[in-house]
A and B are shown apart, each in its own frame.
Chain A
């Protein structure tokens, strides 16, 4: 999430055009955006708010410029953060507004469409989702609508790239116009006007109910909605775990171990004389050995597949339905159903999950979700490490670790709900249509997420690996192990080298797991090590985002609680496990 794009690209001069892309939530605005903009896309935070928006470059004919994907809003009354940002971006001025309207919900969309007329900026309306409207038997008289709105209306099917070229041509043409701001209407006056327009331009013929419409209905019913949700989650897990394992075993590990590593080892032994320095580079914990194998072969496939599956579900309009179904249960622990979306995102990375709580939630919910995610949701990197560590050795331990994580979340949720004062914000949302995600929008989103992962995660991970290599190969590790070894051996029952995990786990969550791979541990030790790693400190990036979003105090408190629970649970499992093994053996 880089800053400053708004400032540096606010008023492009020298003939460049600035377009604001606006519309209600879930009208296919992001698809229009991804089709009309080029490769340089970045999201940024609007200064002083908690809302992010996306900026992309435009290159159309001989016209260059930028397009800003303004957060989707229903109105411009500046009562929510998203609306405040939308109003602020409007007041910064622009050459033209493209306002995307959902043809299947015209009347509701006209509220924003009409309010935009109060600004002295030319508007072009994109009447989108015309194909869906057609299937639902909705007919709209485009010319009449254009006449009523006093601006051009271009019918589009953005997902199939239909009408978008014309939309841009009309937008560039309109940007040359000077417009007077329209009159400001009272709410009731505007609603009456909108109803009148909708009745004039829209007609409905009865159509047979499509399969998608049936599916839309089923997925908000407890039956069969809940079984469908479980199937979707199991299938997603299968794709991430199975696909990741396959990618790792068939392509990445052989590539790294049999091609890249031998080549590098040979190369280094020519250049660097044997000794500490060569060991730091290509020794057992060498920077080049671990630094390539861990991030690229063990972690990356899972992170990539997680974001692919998550982005697909997100763009399909399915996730809010899970929020609706889960609301009853989540309310028991004091948070509303919508929060299940940032919590699921937490299985990818806690940083976007914590940022994702900003949107519309109360402070209580934000702290609760952030704590739960930091506490017990393993991120994709850490899950990759768990699969590598436990997947081949003990499926039982793997299931145990994940079951414990869910139980711990419920328990902590109940406790936090009692401790933190305040109320959660009630669930109130429009359930979006289900649709097959657009390829271009999907690719752009995935690319942006992987870019953030590579920048935010791989850097600290490589630093961690460098530290690991230095302390392991120079003998510093032995000194540290002597100091905390008794605790690690006595309470947790792990070999004293496992101190390395605890040290590195401060930097990245998966680094609390990966060193255990090389230690020949028994099943109990693997389980204890994984449980400690699961609850252990959130990584440095999470610590930073907790400090930024809440306060240093909150970050330290979360760090303290998680670490204390990690050692408590780890020790208890070690002692109970040893007792059972001793009893049976």
Chain B
């Protein structure tokens, strides 16, 4: 499922992602787990929490990141 469809407060694991230097250095790699912290109106960015860091990801980029749900708070 693309991350763009992720639900707030759900936890996901990355299955595949586009090759991007910035994504890589921000810690997005295959197998990385994170929780969706917030979604913005008008196809705004998805904010996710990896550990205790919040990272905002553009909607289109989030559409290219494929994830698998692993839990819901």
A292 at the interface (CB under 8 A from B): no
Q: Which of B23, B37, B42, B53 contacts A328 (CB 8 A)?
A: B42
Q: CB within 8 Å of B: which of A414-452? A: 426-431
**A136–B57 CA distance with the chains assembled, in angstroms:** 24
With A75-B25, A77-B21, A111-B25 given, is the CB distance from A430 to B58 under 8 Å? no
The binding surface of chain B is classed by DSSP as mixed
Q: CB within 8 Å of A: which of B33-49? A: 37-45, 47
**A404–B23 CA distance with the chains assembled, in angstroms:** 39
Is there an interface contact between A328 and B55, defined as CB atoms closer than 8 Å?
no
With A136-B52, A332-B42 given, is the CB distance from A428 to B57 under 8 Å? yes
Cβ contacts under 8 Å, A191 to chain B: 29
With A74-B26, A79-B21 given, is the CB distance from A430 to B55 under 8 Å? yes
**A332–B59 CA distance with the chains assembled, in angstroms:** 13
| Most chain A CB atoms below 10 A, which of B44, B56, B60 | B56
Q: Min CB distance, B50 to chain A, in Å?
A: 9
- The stretch among A217-225, A239-247, A301-309, A516-524 that forms the contact with chain B is A217-225
A216 at the interface (CB under 8 A from B): yes
**A77–B22 CA distance with the chains assembled, in angstroms:** 11
A510 at the interface (CB under 8 A from B): no
With A108-B53, A111-B25 given, is the CB distance from A325 to B58 under 8 Å? no
Residue ID in chain B nearest A74 by CB atoms: B25
Q: Min CB distance, B17 to chain A, in Å?
A: 12
With A111-B25, A220-B54 given, is the CB distance from A337 to B42 under 8 Å? no
Q: Which of B20, B27, B56, B58 contacts A220 (CB 8 A)?
A: B56
Is there an interface contact between B26 and A428, defined as CB atoms closer than 8 Å?
yes
Cβ contacts under 8 Å, A225 to chain B: 38
**A431–B37 CA distance with the chains assembled, in angstroms:** 12
Cβ contacts under 8 Å, A107 to chain B: 27, 51
Residue ID in chain B nearest A198 by CB atoms: B51
Cβ contacts under 8 Å, B41 to chain A: 222, 328
Q: Which of B42, B53, B58 contacts A427 (CB 8 A)?
A: B58
A105 at the interface (CB under 8 A from B): yes
Q: CB within 8 Å of B: which of A427-480? A: 427-431
Q: Which of B29, B47, B51, B60 contacts A431 (CB 8 A)?
A: B47
Q: Which of A104, A216, A427 contacts B45 (CB 8 A)?
A: A427
Residue ID in chain B nearest A427 by CB atoms: B58
B66 at the interface (CB under 8 A from A): no
Q: Which of B22, B24, B40, B61 contacts A222 (CB 8 A)?
A: B40
**A391–B37 CA distance with the chains assembled, in angstroms:** 43
Q: CB within 8 Å of B: which of A310-355? A: 320, 323-325, 327-329, 331-332, 336-337
Cβ contacts under 8 Å, A325 to chain B: 40, 44
With A220-B38, A222-B38 given, is the CB distance from A428 to B51 under 8 Å? no
**Number of residues in B with C-beta < 8 Å to the partner?**
30
Residue ID in chain B nearest A324 by CB atoms: B56
Residue ID in chain B nearest A187 by CB atoms: B24
**A80–B60 CA distance with the chains assembled, in angstroms:** 21
Is there an interface contact between A430 and B44, defined as CB atoms closer than 8 Å?
no
Q: Min CB distance, B44 to chain A, in Å?
A: 3
**A217–B59 CA distance with the chains assembled, in angstroms:** 19
Is there an interface contact between B37 and A220, defined as CB atoms closer than 8 Å?
yes
**A220–B48 CA distance with the chains assembled, in angstroms:** 10
Q: Min CB distance, B4 to chain A, in Å?
A: 12
Is there an interface contact between A430 and B61, defined as CB atoms closer than 8 Å?
no
A interface footprint on B58-72 (CB within 8 Å = 1, 0 otherwise): 111100000000000
**A545–B20 CA distance with the chains assembled, in angstroms:** 32
Q: Min CB distance, A34 to chain B, in Å?
A: 24
Cβ contacts under 8 Å, A222 to chain B: 38-41
Q: Min CB distance, B63 to chain A, in Å?
A: 10
Q: Min CB distance, A88 to chain B, in Å?
A: 18
Residue ID in chain B nearest A428 by CB atoms: B22
Cβ contacts under 8 Å, A337 to chain B: 44-45
Q: Min CB distance, A185 to chain B, in Å?
A: 15
Is there an interface contact between B40 and A427, defined as CB atoms closer than 8 Å?
no
**A74–B42 CA distance with the chains assembled, in angstroms:** 30
Is there an interface contact between B53 and A327, defined as CB atoms closer than 8 Å?
no
Q: Min CB distance, A400 to chain B, in Å?
A: 27
Q: Min CB distance, B20 to chain A, in Å?
A: 8
With A427-B56, A427-B57 given, is the CB distance from A324 to B21 under 8 Å? no
Is there an interface contact between B54 and A428, defined as CB atoms closer than 8 Å?
no
Is there an interface contact between B55 and A431, defined as CB atoms closer than 8 Å?
yes
Chain B residues engaging chain A, CB cutoff 8 angstroms: 20-27, 29, 37-45, 47, 51-61
| Known A220-B47, A329-B44, A428-B61; 11 more pairs at CB < 8 Å | A77-B25, A105-B51, A220-B38, A221-B37, A222-B39, A320-B56, A328-B44, A336-B58, A427-B58, A431-B47, A431-B56
- Closest 6 pairs (CB-CB, A-B): A328-B44, A328-B42, A426-B58, A74-B25, A431-B54, A427-B58
Q: What are 24 residue pairs bridging A and B, where the CB atoms are less than 8 Å apart in the complex?
A: A80-B21, A105-B53, A108-B27, A216-B54, A320-B56, A323-B56, A324-B40, A325-B40, A325-B44, A328-B59, A329-B42, A332-B42, A426-B58, A426-B60, A427-B45, A427-B56, A428-B22, A428-B23, A428-B56, A428-B61, A429-B55, A429-B56, A431-B53, A431-B55
